[in-house]
């Protein structure tokens, strides 16, 4: 019922704006930061050329981006064929959304992609050894497929060669590959980068929060904006979190 109400409200610009304000007010009251609200504020301030949703799955985060930035040009990336089919169908009614069936990585070409029982845990990286990940149940490996890849730098040169970009990413431990393949774009054109990060061992050779922070701040000129509340596993340990980095010149948001 709540999801249906959310959908109805989001179809009306005035109601959707009111809904976003109420949600943000509730989060502020509870001292819970809202990354999408911050991205929406930044979008309205600098009017970037496009928003990239890297790892869109079936489109829920694209809808959330559009709730806060309804007139944004959005590029949605998803390499898994089954998820892309649902994503394309769901995005038909949004002419400002372009779907790309590929993974953004450190090379342009094709690579192996690891398909798990829980689709949202699919990754360019192999799962951690059984018993190490807090998500062993949903991370049960079921297939290995070949997917198309591009570097962010190659993709941007072809599809969005000019203007600032906002990026939301959920690439399941492969953040290093994404940033390595997009260093020119990150250094020159990314106004904000919001991503999920694994904390507990989940994938082989996964990117750590500290490693990503060092790359973005020391090499690429971004600044840490916020680290969001951690999701915890059953023993109470922090399992994963979200964080956002921004270009200092866009502050304050």
Question: Would the CA dihedral through 204, 206, 210, 215 be positive or negative?
Answer: positive
pLDDT-based confidence at residue 1 (cuts at 50, 70, 90): very low
* Cα–Cα nearest to 178, from 50, 53, 5, 48: 53
Percentage of the chain exceeding pLDDT 70: 84
Cα–Cα distances (Å) from 138 to 30, 98, 128, 215, in that order, read 31, 29, 13, 30
**In a 3-state reduction of DSSP, which class is residue 87?**
helix
Residue with token string 């921004």 = 246
Predicted confidence at residue 117, as pLDDT, reads 85
**Which residues pair with residue 246 across a beta bridge?**
192, 223
- The percentage of residues in the chain with a pLDDT greater than 90, rounded to a whole number, is 77
State yes or no: pLDDT of 246 exceeds 90.
yes
pLDDT of residue 31: 57
**85: Cβ contacts below 8 Å, ≥ 6 apart:** none
Interval 220-233: pLDDT, tens: 999 999 999 999 98
In a domain, 63, yes or no: yes
Q: Which residues contact 48 (CB under 8 A, 6 or more apart)?
A: 42, 72, 163, 164, 165, 166, 191
What whole-number distance in Å separates Cα of residue 18 and Cα of residue 20? 5
Does 24 map to a domain?
Answer: no
The DSSP 8-state label assigned to residue 127 in this structure reads B
What is the mean pLDDT of the segment spanning 85-114? 98
Strands 238-246 and 190-198: antiparallel
Average the pLDDT over 107-120 and give the result.
Answer: 93
Q: How many whole angstroms separate alpha carbon 189 and alpha carbon 192? A: 9
* 141 backbone dihedrals φ, ψ, rounded to 5°: -70, 130
**75 assigned to some structural domain:** yes
Q: Taking residues 139-165, report their average pLDDT.
A: 96
Judge whether 95 lies within some domain: yes
In whole angstroms, give the CA distance from residue 76 to residue 183. Answer: 20
Task: Please give the pLDDT value at position 43.
Answer: 98
Amino acid 4: pLDDT? 44
88, two tokens? 């394309």
Residue 47: domain span:
33-250
Q: What is the pLDDT of residue 136?
A: 67
Q: Rounded CA gap, 146 and 173, in Å?
A: 18
Rounded (to 5) percent helix, strand, coil in the chain:
40, 25, 35
Higher pLDDT, 12 or 111: 111
Predicted confidence at residue 6, as pLDDT, reads 45
DSSP code for 39? H
Mean pLDDT of the chain: 90
pLDDT for the residue numbered 118: 84
Model confidence at 27: pLDDT above 80: no
pLDDT in tens, 32-63: 689 999 999 999 999 999 999 999 999 999 99
Inside any domain, residue 11: no
- Look at residue 150 and tell me if it is in a domain: yes
Name the more confident of 173 and 28: 173
Going by pLDDT thresholds of 50, 70 and 90, the confidence category of residue 128 is: confident
Residue 3 lies in a domain: no
For residue 81, pLDDT over 60 is answered with: yes
The two tokens of residue 238 are 């922090």
Q: Tell me, yes or no, whether 6 lies in a domain.
A: no
What is the per-residue pLDDT for 2? 38
For the chain, how many structural domains are there in total?
1
pLDDT at 5 over 60: no
Q: Say which CATH number the domain at 147 has.
A: 3.40.50.150
């Amino acid at each position: 019922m709540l999801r249906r109400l959310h959908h109805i409200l989001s179809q009306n610009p005035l109601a959707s704006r009111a809904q976003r304000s109420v949600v943000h007010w509730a989060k502020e009251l509870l001292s819970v930061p809202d990354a999408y609200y911050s991205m929406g504020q930044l979008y309205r301030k600098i009017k970037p050329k496009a928003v990239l949703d890297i790892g869109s799955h079936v489109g829920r985060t694209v809808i959330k981006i559009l709730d806060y930035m309804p007139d944004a040009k959005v590029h949605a990336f998803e390499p898994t064929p089954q998820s892309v089919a649902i994503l394309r169908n769901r995005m038909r009614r949004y002419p400002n959304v372009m779907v790309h069936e590929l993974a953004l990585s450190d090379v342009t070409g094709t690579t192996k992609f690891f398909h798990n029982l829980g689709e949202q845990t699919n990754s360019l990286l192999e799962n951690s050894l059984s018993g190490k990940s807090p998500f062993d149940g949903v991370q049960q490996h079921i297939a290995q497929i070949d997917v198309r890849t591009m570097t962010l730098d190659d993709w941007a040169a072809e599809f969005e060669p000019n203007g600032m970009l906002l990026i939301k990413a959920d690439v399941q431990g492969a953040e290093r590959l994404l940033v390595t393949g997009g260093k020119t774009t990150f250094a020159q054109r990314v106004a904000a980068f919001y991503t999920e990060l694994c904390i507990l061992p989940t994938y082989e050779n996964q990117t750590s929060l500290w490693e990503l922070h060092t790359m973005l701040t020391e090499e690429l000129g971004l600044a840490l904006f916020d680290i969001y509340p951690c999701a915890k596993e059953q023993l109470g340990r922090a399992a994963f979190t979200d964080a956002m980095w921004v270009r200092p010149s866009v502050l304050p948001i």
